[in-house]
């Protein structure tokens, strides 16, 4: 992990895990979209593991849903930085936030499409 500061020290790994958990907690506390998508992950991922016929179908059902959550975290981070850097209205700031939201939407569509295609294949 070049450049990350990790040198095989378990304490550094532990600190990194703590920062990760702080990130999840902040997203849960401050982002309604993250809470909704996290609840979706809790329901949909086990369902995808159960419905998928084999590892590839399971991946096709689970991975897009997890990616939605990951991109939502990135979108929330972008929004927080933009709000800090430009608290007043700014066209570029608005554009950055809108693009982050669009990225989440693209992954939501991808997740729905994956589910439709996999489950339609079960009936065809």
Give the DSSP H or E segment for 31: none
| Active-site residue (options: 57, 72, 88, 91) | 72
Active site residue 72: yes
CA distances for 121 relative to 35, 41, 70, 75, angstroms: 31, 22, 27, 33
Binding residue ranges: 31, 72, 79, 97-98, 101
Dihedral sign of CA atoms 92, 97, 99, 102 in order? negative
Binding residue ranges for ATP: 31, 79, 97-98
Binding residue ranges for a divalent metal cation: 31, 79
Task: Please give the positions annotated as active site.
Answer: 72
């Amino acid at each position: 992990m070049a450049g990350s500061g990790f040198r095989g020290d378990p304490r550094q790994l532990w600190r990194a895990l703590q920062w990760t958990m702080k990130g999840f907690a902040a997203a849960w506390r401050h982002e309604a979209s993250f809470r909704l998508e996290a609840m979706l992950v809790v329901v949909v991922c086990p369902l995808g593991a159960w419905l998928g016929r084999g590892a590839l179908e399971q991946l096709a059902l689970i991975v897009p849903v997890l990616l939605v959550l990951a991109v939502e975290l990135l979108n929330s981070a972008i929004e927080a930085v933009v709000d800090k850097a430009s608290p007043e209205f700014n066209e570029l700031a608005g554009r950055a936030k809108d693009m982050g939201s669009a990225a989440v939407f693209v992954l939501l569509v991808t997740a729905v499409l994956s589910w439709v295609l996999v489950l339609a294949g079960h009936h065809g």
